[in-house]
């Protein structure tokens, strides 16, 4: 579509008319955004504000116009150039002059890295957000917020809430996979989301028309069967009308809209940007359309404001920004002792819970387990399925999403039967869009649901790394401890099926590296069920990695409801000569090796970590103190493996108890090969574990 007012293009409902007071309020917000950004530019130059800051000056009409169309309970997501969005939304919800001033105070304090800021100084400019008021956050990753907004809209629809999400992003983000993956699913599922793209003509320095075959981003909406409209982003009323119409459409259940706002940033990408890629003539042509000046003149010409009133709005904005700056600079820095605060929602199991689970697993492991009416023998896949089913019955906020999880039942059958019982509303087949799956889980988790999202192979999880690690795992800390992201990403890894290097890796060390996310890897049906239930109930993101060769393994599982506390290892076999530590499928091989070693008079203790993060170092150290020898076994590549990290921790905590070097038994540092002979040679087997133990005992 060409540039137009979109009221006639979209609306079946009338656009609400704005009062004189509302229009003056919009002008006030625009002036506050402009002067806020000018002050930030000055403070950056004085090195009072540190780091990168991407200023919104010039684009005020977009944020203010779009936010004016929102209801108080609607949500937004924002970008690295998000000061305008944060102010417009926060100010619209602040009641009274004092609250509005405090809102500006907290914004400036956040940019100055002060503890009084919205994110306690942890987010800064690129991540500024008041998440408690429906701003789900700004992101420093271009396009990183688009899947999150889509997931939040999914959450609103699933919870039958008449609420919408407005997702702001720049023209550069429209060239990312996140953009296309999100628009595709949002349109297919008719989600209540409005995508507002602020096309300021440059993605950092590269002109948009150099990297796009079409001049209008809105034209891309046609590929996803949604309206795509272009508006003058320098005109807040045009933006207001467009977003109002799009929101009305979304509330009618008709799905998303892409609103492209043609706009211009006064400053460069950041303060250090000399803007050599723009001509003075181009800049002047846009300055002639300054939204503050033009909008103020419209009010004046329409007789809706006097020049005295317009001057008073500007003067009041100057005063408000000065007060905010004074507040920020007089606020303290965050205390250094808070540096590790709010990375996780901490809910450590009690000693009683740990003991109860220990007694339960001893019962499962007992020789008379077959005669225990409170136990049943089931395969690993069913333990996973039963865990999801029971949690969905227990908590209506739990739902399952992912590739082929519905009628097909999952690539390895772990969701079979759930679609028949719960239907497509709670067992949701997604597109093959890993980044979207991860980001949608984040957005849904932030807004009241508990998604269990499946990414078919752990090899594919790097495709979703930004969404899971940057948006999900860092979320709580980055926004000052004000959010929870209770989501589970189920995946499977490991070799054994001759399906080669893109479907056979063990990438748990990758996920263990990121702060803010837990990593779970169960070895038995009992562990699989109890740990999955615990993961679903936990308020942190959890990467839950199964093993493709364990799905048919059978074991006893209690018929009663039970959970296994995260961060509690299991001594699966007692021993006195050497400790073998492992997890997932390698636990079973370690137990086989222990049986063979026993025939030679070597007593091996086998410790199953079960959760890699949180890690139960105490149980490992206790075993090492008993045996004096440690062998670590992993199916992952040897270099930078989980076992290497574990050995560092043991060295720090129990070096004096070791009677010899610790020994790693790991996969070779080669891509997992397809040929069975080569695959077997690359992955640890029982003989390799035995050899490792004997090396440790020398």
In tens, the pLDDT along 518-573 reads: 999 999 999 999 999 999 999 999 999 999 999 999 999 999 999 999 999 999 99
pLDDT at 52: 87
385-417 pLDDT per residue, tens: 999 999 999 999 999 999 999 999 999 999 999
Round to whole Å and give the CA distance between 643 and 651.
12
- 3 state SS of 233: coil
Is the pLDDT at 78 greater than 90? The verdict is: yes
Q: What is the mean pLDDT of residues 622-633?
A: 98
Is-catalytic flag, 503? yes
Q: What is the mean pLDDT of residues 284-293?
A: 96
Round to whole Å and give the CA distance between 659 and 642.
22
pLDDT at 8: 38
Round to whole Å and give the CA distance between 590 and 140.
44
**Residue in 605, 580, 578 with CA at minimum distance from that of residue 684:** 580
- What is the share, in percent, of the chain residues with pLDDT greater than 90? 90
Confidence of residue 273 (pLDDT cuts 50, 70, 90): confident
pLDDT at 568: 97
- 3 state SS of 678: helix
Q: What is the mean pLDDT of residues 72-89?
A: 96
pLDDT at 13: 59
pLDDT at 11: 43
Q: What is the mean pLDDT of residues 202-215?
A: 87
Confidence of residue 274 (pLDDT cuts 50, 70, 90): confident
196-200, 268-272, 378-382: segment of lowest average pLDDT: 268-272
**Residue in 423, 250, 222, 445 with CA at minimum distance from that of residue 345:** 445
- 3 state SS of 114: coil
pLDDT at 14: 61
Confidence of residue 4 (pLDDT cuts 50, 70, 90): very low
Confidence of residue 271 (pLDDT cuts 50, 70, 90): confident
Contact 111, 40 (CB under 8 A): yes
Q: What is the mean pLDDT of residues 590-617?
A: 98
DSSP state of 14: P
Confidence of residue 205 (pLDDT cuts 50, 70, 90): confident
Q: What is the mean pLDDT of residues 184-194?
A: 97
Contact 399, 452 (CB under 8 A): yes
Q: Which domains does the chain have, with CATH numbers?
A: 7-338 (3.40.50.970), 360-558 (3.40.50.970), 570-696 (3.40.50.920)
Is the pLDDT at 337 greater than 80? The verdict is: yes
What is the distance in angstroms between the CA of the first residue and the CA of the last residue of the chain? 77
pLDDT at 3: 39
Is the pLDDT at 9 greater than 70? The verdict is: no
pLDDT at 5: 40
What CA–CA distances, in Å, run from 319 to 35, 45, 103, 108, 181?
10, 21, 14, 14, 44
Which member of 180, 503, 513, 547 is catalytic? Answer: 503
Confidence of residue 517 (pLDDT cuts 50, 70, 90): very high
Q: What is the mean pLDDT of residues 457-485?
A: 95
pTM: 0.94
Is the pLDDT at 7 greater than 90? The verdict is: no
Round to whole Å and give the CA distance between 243 and 237.
10
Is the pLDDT at 16 greater than 80? The verdict is: no
Give 341: exposed, middle or buried? Use CB within 10 Å, 0-12, 13-18, 19+.
middle
Confidence of residue 447 (pLDDT cuts 50, 70, 90): very high
pLDDT at 368: 84
Is the pLDDT at 622 greater than 90? The verdict is: yes
Is the pLDDT at 624 greater than 70? The verdict is: yes
Mean pLDDT of the chain: 94
100-145 pLDDT per residue, tens: 999 999 999 999 999 999 999 999 999 998 998 899 999 999 999 9
Q: What is the mean pLDDT of residues 318-332?
A: 97
pLDDT at 381: 97
Q: What is the mean pLDDT of residues 50-59?
A: 92
pLDDT at 303: 92
**H or E element: which one contains 323?**
helix 307-329
Give 639: exposed, middle or buried? Use CB within 10 Å, 0-12, 13-18, 19+.
exposed
Is the pLDDT at 6 greater than 80? The verdict is: no
Round to whole Å and give the CA distance between 580 and 71.
58
Round to whole Å and give the CA distance between 22 and 40.
27
Contact 166, 243 (CB under 8 A): yes
- What is the share, in percent, of the chain residues with pLDDT greater than 70? 98
Cα four-point dihedral sign 507, 526, 608, 564 = positive
């Amino acid at each position: 579509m060409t540039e137009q007012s979109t009221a006639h293009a979209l609306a079946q409902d009338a656009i609400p008319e704005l009062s004189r007071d509302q229009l003056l309020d919009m002008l006030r917000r625009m002036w506050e955004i402009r002067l806020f950004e000018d002050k930030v530019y000055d403070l950056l130059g004085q090195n009072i504000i540190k780091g990168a800051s991407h200023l919104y000056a010039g684009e005020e009409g977009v944020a203010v116009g779009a936010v004016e169309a929102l209801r108080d309970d609607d949500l937004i997501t924002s970008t690295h150039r998000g000061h305008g969005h944060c102010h417009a939304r926060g100010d619209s919800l602040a009641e009274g002059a004092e609250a509005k001033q405090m809102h500006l105070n907290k914004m400036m304090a956040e940019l100055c890295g002060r503890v009084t800021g919205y994110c306690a100084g942890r987010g800064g400019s690129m991540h500024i957000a008041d998440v408690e008021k429906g701003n789900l956050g700004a992101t420093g990753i271009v396009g990183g917020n688009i899947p999150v907004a889509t997931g939040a809209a999914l959450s609103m629809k699933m919870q039958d809430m008449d609420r919408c999400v407005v997702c702001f992003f720049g023209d550069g983000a429209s060239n990312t996979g996140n953009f296309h993956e999100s628009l595709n699913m949002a349109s297919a599922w008719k989600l209540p989301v409005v995508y507002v793209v602020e096309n300021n003509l440059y993605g950092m320095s590269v002109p948009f028309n150099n990297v796009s075959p079409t001049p209008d981003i809105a034209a891309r909406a046609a590929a996803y069967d949604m309206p795509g409209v272009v508006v003058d982003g320098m005109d807040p009323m045009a933006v207001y009308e467009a977003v109002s119409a799009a929101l009305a459409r979304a509330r009618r259940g008709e799905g998303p809209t892409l609103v492209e706002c043609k706009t211009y940033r006064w400053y460069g990408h950041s303060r250090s940007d000399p803007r050599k890629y723009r001509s003075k003539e181009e800049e002047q042509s846009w300055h002639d359309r300054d939204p503050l000046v033009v909008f103020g003149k419209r009010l004046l010409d329409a007789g809706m404001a006097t020049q005295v009133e317009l001057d008073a709005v500007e003067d009041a904005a100057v005063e408000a920004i000065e007060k905010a700056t004074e507040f920020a600079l007089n606020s303290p820095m965050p205390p250094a002792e808070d540096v590790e605060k709010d990375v996780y929602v901490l809910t450590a199991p009690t000693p009683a819970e740990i003991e109860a689970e220990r007694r339960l697993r001893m019962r499962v492991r007992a020789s008379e387990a077959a005669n225990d009416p409170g136990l049943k023998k089931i395969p690993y896949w069913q333990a996973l399925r039963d865990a999801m089913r029971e949690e969905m019955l227990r908590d209506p906020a739990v739902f399952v999403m992912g590739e082929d999880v519905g009628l097909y039942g999952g690539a390895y059958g772990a969701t079979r039967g759930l679609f028949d019982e719960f239907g497509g509303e709670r067992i949701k087949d997604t597109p093959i869009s890993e980044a979207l799956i991860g980001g949608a889980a984040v957005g849904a988790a932030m807004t009241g649901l508990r998604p269990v999202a499946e990414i078919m192979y752990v090899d594919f999880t790097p495709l979703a790394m930004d969404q899971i690690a940057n948006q999900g795992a860092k979320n709580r800390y980055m926004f000052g401890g004000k959010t929870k992201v209770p989501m589970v990403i189920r995946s499977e890894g490991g070799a054994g099926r001759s399906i080669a290097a893109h479907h056979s890796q063990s990438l748990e060390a990758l996920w263990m590296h990121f702060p803010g996310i837990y990593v779970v890897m169960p070895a038995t049906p009992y562990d699989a069920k109890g740990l999955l239930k615990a993961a679903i109930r936990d308020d942190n993101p959890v990467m839950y990695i199964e093993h493709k060769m364990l799905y048919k393994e059978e074991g006893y599982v209690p018929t009663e409801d039970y959970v296994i506390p995260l961060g509690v290892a299991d001594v699966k076999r007692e021993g006195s000569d050497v400790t073998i530590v492992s997890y997932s499928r390698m636990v079973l091989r370690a137990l086989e090796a222990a049986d063979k070693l026993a025939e030679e008079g070597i007593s091996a203790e086998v410790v199953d970590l079960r959760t890699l993060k949180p890690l139960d170092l105490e149980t490992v150290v206790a075993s090492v103190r008993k045996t004096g020898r440690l062998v670590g076994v992993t199916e992952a590549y040897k270099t930078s493996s989980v076992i290497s990290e574990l050995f560092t921790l043991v060295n720090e905590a129990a070096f004096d108890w070791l009677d010899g070097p610790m020994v790693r038994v790991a996969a070779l540092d080669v891509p997992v090969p397809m040929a069975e002979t080569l695959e077997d040679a690359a992955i640890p087997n029982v003989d390799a574990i035995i050899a490792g133990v004997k090396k440790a005992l020398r």
